[in-house]
Amino acid sequence: MSITGVYKGLDNVPIKETVISTIDGEKGKLYYVGYSVEELAEKSNYEEVSFLLLHKRLPTGEELKDFSNKLMKERTIPNEIWSILEKTPPGAPLMDKLKAGVDLLGLFDGEAEKTDKAARLSTAIRIISKIATLVAGVYRLKKGLQPLEPDPGLNHASNFLYMATGKKPNALESKIMDVTFILHAEHELPASSTAALVVASTLSDLYSAVSAGIGALKGPLHGGANERALEMLMSIKTPEEAEQYVLRELASKRKIMGFGHRVYKTFDPRALIFKSYLEQLSEMRKDRKLLEIANRIESVMIRELGSKLIYPNIDLYSGPVFNLLGLDKEIFTPIFAAARSVGWIAHILEYWEDNRLIRPRAVYIGPGPRRYVPVDER
């Protein structure tokens, strides 16, 4: 079969059919199984959204209670894994520690290699639950602190924030963390979801596939953009300086972090939700500095580049939110991974319903057939 054309970055190349999520980039809309992310962020919670993505429908009240209890009961990490992770180099990136932790979890899961639907779903619940504990634990280890035991009285997101910071969150902090997990739970097929699918298509196990997703998310072109957006905001002292910063960077043809998206051609809907919560959190903390700088950068960028369809994305406002929650920037991408684990797994389970090994081709542009020349004749 002859091969023609190269689609760099697989731009607009579909590799699966899905009912899990869809993005309307022109209108700035994101839907999970048909439900708008705005409505889910307002009315739902991460446990219910996880059920929705895995089962492709909302749960009944009893189903939600049962699912939430299963997640709660699976939060604990074996002590042997903590002992191993404690021995890893202190300066190693948290994403590498997280990836190692997920691989270790696979070794301790007796059902990891089972392929029946019930076993795979049980494994999925364990991963989604434990990965949040892992993120909080490796974060504390890197700060020279011991991981905290999960609190069964807190929901998934609130428990994560407690395990990361050591403080029980208040109502607003809990809601913001829950919305954070919801907004990061799924986003069709970015690089990390695709990487996880490629591994899963070989019929490898869920832990290996999720580990691949973490590896892809670690890359600065995928995860980590909110870290750099926060660094940018914190380097600017006043809103007045923000305008000059933007104009100077644009004149030098440098990228402004937190703007532009491969799919969205208007506001990223997740950015608008985060902006709203940043306003509330800034009022509660009585610290509006990052909010006002971000707002000024947004207004200048829209004035200068709105005609080119470059608008704020989720990274502009998520970093300041995490900062005001008391979280260091090194945990931002691991939070993304913890939340997105359900999206990766949902796509994998859906793909396994009609699995085909993902095996792309390359267009060869090298020399034609030629004779090997022995080394002493060259």
> Can you give the residue range of the structural domain that contains 119?
14-211+330-352
Q: Are residues 184 and 231 in the same domain?
A: no
| The pair of three-digit structure tokens given for residue 97, joined into one six-digit string | 């520690």
Instruction: Tell whether 133 is covered by a domain.
Output: yes
Q: Are residues 176 and 278 in the same domain?
A: no
| The pair of three-digit structure tokens given for residue 259, joined into one six-digit string | 């703007």
Q: What percent of the chain has pLDDT over 70?
A: 99
Q: Catalytic residue among 156, 184, 187, 261, which?
A: 261
> What is the domain-level CATH number for residue 296?
1.10.230.10
Instruction: Give the H/E segment covering residue 142.
Output: helix 117-142
The identity of residue 220, as a single letter, is P
Instruction: Tell whether 76 is covered by a domain.
Output: yes
Residue 4 banded pLDDT, cuts 50, 70, 90: low
| Catalytic (active site) residue 187 | no
pLDDT value at residue 104: 98
pLDDT value at residue 220: 86
pLDDT value at residue 1: 58
pLDDT value at residue 3: 63
pLDDT tens per residue across span 63-108: 999 999 999 999 999 999 999 999 999 999 999 999 999 999 999 9
> Distance of alpha carbon 179 from its chain centroid, rounded?
13
Q: Are residues 202 and 272 in the same domain?
A: no
Q: Are residues 262 and 348 in the same domain?
A: no
Residue 234 makes CB contacts below 8 A (sequence gap 6+) with 290, 323
**Helix (H/G/I), strand (E/B), else coil: 257:** coil
Instruction: Tell whether 359 is covered by a domain.
Output: no
CA–CA distance, 200 with 207 (Å, rounded to integer): 10
The identity of residue 75, as a single letter, is R
pLDDT value at residue 366: 94
Residue 353, pLDDT above cutoff 70: yes
Q: Are residues 241 and 188 in the same domain?
A: no
pLDDT value at residue 221: 86
- The residue assigned the tokens 């991460």 is 46
Task: Indicate the residue among 307, 324, 341 that finishes a domain.
Answer: 324
DSSP E strands, 26-181: 29-32, 35-36
Q: Are residues 159 and 200 in the same domain?
A: yes
The identity of residue 97, as a single letter, is K
Q: Catalytic residue among 103, 151, 222, 328, which?
A: 222
Separation in Å, CA 377 to CA 268, 304, 370, 372, 374:
61, 62, 15, 10, 6
Long-range contacts of 158-164 (CB under 8 A, 24+ apart): 159/72, 159/75, 159/132, 160/132, 160/133, 160/135, 160/136, 160/335, 160/338, 161/325, 163/132, 163/133, 163/136, 163/137, 164/135, 164/136, 164/139, 164/140, 164/327, 164/331
| Catalytic (active site) residue 156 | no
pLDDT tens per residue across span 24-62: 999 999 999 999 999 999 999 999 999 999 999 999 999
| Catalytic (active site) residue 222 | yes
Instruction: Tell whether 361 is covered by a domain.
Output: no
Residue 238, pLDDT above cutoff 80: yes
Q: Are residues 286 and 191 in the same domain?
A: no
Instruction: Tell whether 367 is covered by a domain.
Output: no
pLDDT value at residue 26: 94
Residue 7, pLDDT above cutoff 90: no
Q: Are residues 33 and 107 in the same domain?
A: yes
Q: Are residues 187 and 255 in the same domain?
A: no
Nearest CA-CA partner of 115 in 305, 275, 349: 349
| The pair of three-digit structure tokens given for residue 110, joined into one six-digit string | 């007796």
Residue 91 phi/psi, 5-degree rounding, is -85, 0
Instruction: Tell whether 319 is covered by a domain.
Output: yes
Q: What is the number of domains present in the chain?
A: 2
Residue 5 banded pLDDT, cuts 50, 70, 90: confident
In terms of pLDDT, which residue wins out, 40 or 221? 40
Instruction: Tell whether 216 is covered by a domain.
Output: no
Q: Are residues 186 and 87 in the same domain?
A: yes
Residue 2, pLDDT above cutoff 80: no
Q: Are residues 57 and 162 in the same domain?
A: yes
**DSSP 3-state percent helix, strand, coil across the chain (nearest 5):** 60, 5, 35
Q: Are residues 318 and 340 in the same domain?
A: no
> What is the domain-level CATH number for residue 113?
1.10.580.10
Instruction: Tell whether 220 is covered by a domain.
Output: no
Mean pLDDT of the chain: 95
The model's pTM: 0.95
